[in-house]
């Protein structure tokens, strides 16, 4: 068992952990690919315990309370082709969050996050395609061994474009499940393309896919997510 404290930098909704980042952290504690179920929002700067099972499962707990659970699973996802870097850059200019953003301090897509602090992935509609797209150039603060982006930041980058692909009106939603596969971690300062697309919807639940490519269009990572529009949105852990 190990402990986890999510730093304030890695927030999604105000006061709570970013789902893609948290899923990547939990996945790093297993030698299997995981489908991570996020059962409750995880407060920032609070201490949680990570429990691992011999079957590859990972649980995030605080005492007896379960907050997230990762179970071994496979990812079967048909990924659309990558747009060009310039097409993705142009699409990002239509990012709905520039006009209205439910979570402007979000680590991955927040418009109030400075370069070198947030990821600043602003996925907008891609003309002639069902996808949203954005560009991303990871900075040195995300570096792991060998000058490559750490896996938990790769999964963080795969999170929010799925939200903006699932709905175009920026209605607040929470990440319920996340299954990610990283083919290779990109290098720091390497220009990247990130896309998202809606797979299906049922009531307040939305399935979305995301993918991350290098500048040449080589697939580097992909994920499938379940987004949920809650009936009552949780109050910020910071009280706001």
Local confidence band at 145 (pLDDT 50, 70, 90 cut-offs): confident
And the tokens for 29? 């504690």
Residue 212 lies in a domain: yes
Which residue range forms the structural domain that includes residue 54?
A: 2-72
Q: What pLDDT, on a 0 to 100 scale, did the predictor assign at position 124?
A: 98
Looking at every residue in the chain, the average pLDDT score rounds to 95
**136 in any annotated domain:** yes
Do 89 and 47 lie in one domain? The reply is: no
Residues 97 and 160 in one domain: yes
C-alpha to C-alpha distance for 55 and 220, rounded to whole angstroms:
27
Q: Tokens for 127, please give them.
A: 């003309």
Mean pLDDT of 191-205: 97
Q: Are 99 and 106 in contact (CB under 8 A)?
A: no
Note the pLDDT tens digit of each residue in 118-132: 999 999 999 999 999
Tell me, what CATH number does 42's domain have? 3.10.129.10
Q: Residue 103 has what pLDDT?
A: 94
Does residue 240 lie within any of the structural domains? no
Q: Please identify, among 32, 50, 72, the residue that sits at the C-terminal boundary of a domain.
A: 72
Look up the pTM and report it.
0.94
Q: Where does a domain end: 18, 38, 72?
A: 72
Q: How many residues does the chain have?
A: 240
The string of pLDDT tens digits covering residues 155-170 is 999 999 999 999 988 8
For the segment 190-202, the average pLDDT, to the nearest whole number, is 97
Report CA Rg, the chain: 16
Instruction: Identify whether 163 is part of a domain.
Output: yes
Q: Are residues 204 and 162 in the same domain?
A: yes
pLDDT of residue 230 exceeding 90, the answer is no
Q: Tell me how far apart the alpha carbons of residues 171 and 113 are, in angstroms, rounded to a whole number.
A: 20
Q: Would you list the DSSP string of 4-34?
A: EE--GGGBSSTTBB-HHHHHHHHHTT-SS-E
Q: Locate 22 and state its tokens.
A: 């948290």
Q: Region 51-55: what's the mean pLDDT?
A: 95
Claim to verify: residue 7 and residue 109 sit in the same structural domain: no
The residues near 99 (Cβ < 8 Å, ≥ 6 apart) are none
The count of structural domains within the chain is 2
């Amino acid at each position: 068992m190990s402990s986890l404290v999510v730093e304030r930098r890695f927030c999604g909704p105000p006061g709570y952990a970013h789902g893609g980042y948290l899923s990547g952290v939990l996945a790093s504690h297993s030698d299997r690919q995981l489908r991570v179920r996020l059962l409750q929002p995880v407060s920032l700067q609070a201490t949680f315990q990570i429990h691992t099972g011999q079957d590859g499962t990972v649980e995030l707990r605080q005492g007896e309370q379960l907050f997230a659970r990762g179970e071994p699973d496979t990812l079967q996802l048909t990924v659309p082709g990558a747009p060009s870097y310039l097409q993705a850059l142009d699409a990002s200019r239509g990012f709905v969050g520039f006009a209205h953003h439910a979570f402007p301090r979000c680590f991955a897509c927040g418009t109030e996050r400075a370069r070198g602090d947030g990821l600043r992935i602003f996925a907008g509609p891609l003309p002639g395609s069902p996808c949203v797209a954005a560009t991303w150039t990871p900075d040195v603060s995300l570096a792991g061994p060998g000058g490559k982006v750490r896996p938990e930041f790769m999964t963080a980058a795969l999170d929010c474009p799925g939200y903006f692909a699932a709905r175009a009106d920026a209605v607040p939603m929470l990440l319920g499940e996340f299954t990610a596969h990283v083919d290779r971690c990109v290098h720091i300062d390497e220009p990247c393309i990130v896309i998202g697309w809606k797979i299906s919807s049922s009531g307040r639940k939305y399935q979305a896919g995301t993918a991350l490519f290098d500048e040449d269009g080589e697939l580097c990572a992909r994920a499938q997510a379940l987004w949920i529009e809650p009936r009552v949105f949780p109050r910020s852990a910071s009280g706001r």
